[in-house]
Amino acid sequence: MAFWTTLPGILTGIAAVITAIAGLYLAFSPPKNSNDNLRGSTPPVSPAQKSSSLAPESGADNCLEQEVPGGDPVEVGSGTQALRELKDGVIRIKLTDNHQSVGGVGLRFYPDGDYFEIEKLVDAKCVGVANVYNSSRQRFIDIKNDKVPNNDYLRIPLGGQNYSLRLMSQGKTLSALFEKN
C-alpha cells in the first residue's frame, strides 16, 4: 500500500486510469463513416465481384476449395511458380489476381506424352470456363478432350479479363506462369 503514496505509484495509477478510459472510449464509440475507415476494414473487390451481386470473396474461396481442394495459389505476375502434385496425382491451382481468387484448375501431367490434361477449369464463381485458347497452337481447345502440350500458353477468360497460363514440366519439376493479358 505504501507504493501508491509515492510519486512513482501516483504516476502509475494515473497512467492506468487514463489507459482504461481511452480503451473504454475506443471500445464503445461508433466507427466514423468515412471512406478511409471502409478501405481499412473491407477487402478489395475483384472485377468478377463488381460485375455480379453474388457472394463475397470468402464465398468464392469456399467454392474453389470444394472444386479444387488443396489448391496452391498462383498469383498473376509472380513469375514462374512451382506446382505440387497431390497424392491422387492431380495438380490443383487457385488462380489469383491481386490476392483475390479468379479461378481454379485441376489437371494431371503425363510425362510419357509430355502433356497436361485439364480435368477442371472454373472461374471464381465455380462456373466452368469455355473459350480457352491455346496461343501456342493458335486454336481454341476443348477442355474435356484436348491435351495441352508442355510449355504451351493458354488464354483463359476469367471475370471479364483475359489471363495467360503457361504449364511447364522440366524433369520432375512442374511449374506455372500466370499473367494478365
Range of the domain at 15: 2-30
Q: Where residue 61 falls among pLDDT bands split at 50, 70, 90?
A: low
Q: What is the pTM of this model?
A: 0.65
Number of structural domains the chain divides into: 2
Q: What is the pLDDT of residues 128-147, one digit of tens each?
A: 998 999 999 999 999 888 99
Would you say residue 40 lies in a domain?
no
Residues 6 and 72 in one domain: no
Residues 26 and 51 in one domain: no
Cα distances (angstroms) measured from residue 75 to each of 12, 37, 38, 103: 50, 27, 25, 11
Q: What is the pLDDT of residues 64-88, one digit of tens each?
A: 888 888 888 999 999 999 998 877 7
Extended beta strands in the chain, E state: 72-75, 81-83, 91-97, 100-110, 115-123, 133-134, 139-140, 148-149, 153-158, 161-170, 173-180
Cell (9 digits) for 7? 510519486
Would you say residue 111 lies in a domain?
yes
Residues 76 and 13 in one domain: no
